[in-house]
């Protein structure tokens, strides 16, 4: 590489870094504004869901699950509880096929541990609304790869999971918006979609993902 080519390469790298910093700054500003606005605007809905969850199965209405975030830092990702109290002790209600599915995909189709209200809020993704608090705290972003539990790391190759943990996880993302539960770990499609987003992240792509998420939720594409 000659001197001119090296200079052009260095300038290109500098411009890329500047664009990246600008993107992250604007992205964080949008996260703060939108999550704060959503929490205030949706507070009546939060109350209605909380009451419905409690009436359906008395107990805590929120469920915090430990997830792995940016740089491998763990945090509690909040959801409205959709399962019965003590669901972790209801393994005997699962079929061998369901247990195997959880081991490979970390989810279960037709999970008998989900309450009637839980099925509804999951179908409409309303159980995810408390994650606006995670976004406001800076643990998550509105758009990004789905935050994973520690055991999911094994589904990614070493370089892939390092890339996955180099960005903030999102309330929604490319995988949720365009495939949801139809793209699996076993096929490798989910991993590919998460990597695609990281490699192509931009404000325009984020906006497209947010709009597509709304469409997917309304159409219940891949919903469980």
Q: Please give the distance of CA 37 from its chain centroid, rounded to a whole number.
A: 20
Per-residue model confidence (pLDDT) at position 10: 57
Contact 167, 145 (CB under 8 A): yes
Contact 103, 80 (CB under 8 A): no
Distance in angstroms (rounded) separating the CA atoms of residues 104 and 124: 24
Per-residue model confidence (pLDDT) at position 127: 95
Q: Is 39 exposed, middle or buried (0-12, 13-18, 19+ CB in 10 A)?
A: middle
Query: What's the whole-number mean pLDDT along residues 206-219?
Result: 90
pLDDT in tens, 114-133: 999 999 999 898 999 999 99
Distance in angstroms (rounded) separating the CA atoms of residues 125 and 119: 10
pLDDT in tens, 131-143: 999 999 999 999 9
Distance in angstroms (rounded) separating the CA atoms of residues 172 and 197: 11
**Boundaries of every domain in the chain:** 41-219
Give 85's DSSP letter.
T
Q: How confident is the model at residue 105 (pLDDT cuts 50, 70, 90)?
A: low
| Three-state SS at 208 | helix
pLDDT in tens, 192-209: 999 999 999 999 999 999
Kindly tell me if the per-residue pLDDT of 9 is higher than 60.
Answer: no
Query: What's the whole-number mean pLDDT along residues 81-110?
Result: 73
Give 148's DSSP letter.
B
Per-residue model confidence (pLDDT) at position 156: 84
Distance in angstroms (rounded) separating the CA atoms of residues 215 and 172: 12
Buried b (16+ CB within 10 A) or exposed e, 190-210: bbebbbebbeebeeeebeebb
Residues in contact with 196: Cβ distance below 8 Å, sequence separation at least 6, in sequence order: 174
Query: What's the whole-number mean pLDDT along residues 99-109?
Result: 68
Kindly tell me if the per-residue pLDDT of 98 is higher than 90.
Answer: no
Mean pLDDT, the chain, as a whole number?
Answer: 86
Which of the two residues, 62 and 216, has the higher pLDDT score? Answer: 62
């Amino acid at each position: 590489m000659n001197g001119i080519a090296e200079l052009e390469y260095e300038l290109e790298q500098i411009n890329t870094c500047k664009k990246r910093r600008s993107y992250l700054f604007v992205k964080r500003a949008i996260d703060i504004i939108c999550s704060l606005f959503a929490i205030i605007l949706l507070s009546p809905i939060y109350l209605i869901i909380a009451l419905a969850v409690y009436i359906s199965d008395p107990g805590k209405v929120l469920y915090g699950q430990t997830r792995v975030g940016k740089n491998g830092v763990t945090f509690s990702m909040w959801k409205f509880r959709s399962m019965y109290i003590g669901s972790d002790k209801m393994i005997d209600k699962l079929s061998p096929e369901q247990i195997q599915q959880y081991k490979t995909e970390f989810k279960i189709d037709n999970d008998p541990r989900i309450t009637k209200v839980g099925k509804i809020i999951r179908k409409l993704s309303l159980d995810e609304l408390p994650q606006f608090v995670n976004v406001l705290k800076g643990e998550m972003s509105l758009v990004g790869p789905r935050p994973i539990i520690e055991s999911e790391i094994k589904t990614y190759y070493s370089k892939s999971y390092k890339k996955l943990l180099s960005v903030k996880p999102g309330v929604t993302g490319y995988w949720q918006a365009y495939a949801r539960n139809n793209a699996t770990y076993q096929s490798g499609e989910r991993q590919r979609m998460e990597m695609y987003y990281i490699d192509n992240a931009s404000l325009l792509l984020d906006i497209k993902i947010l709009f597509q998420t709304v469409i997917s939720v309304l159409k219940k594409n891949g919903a469980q």
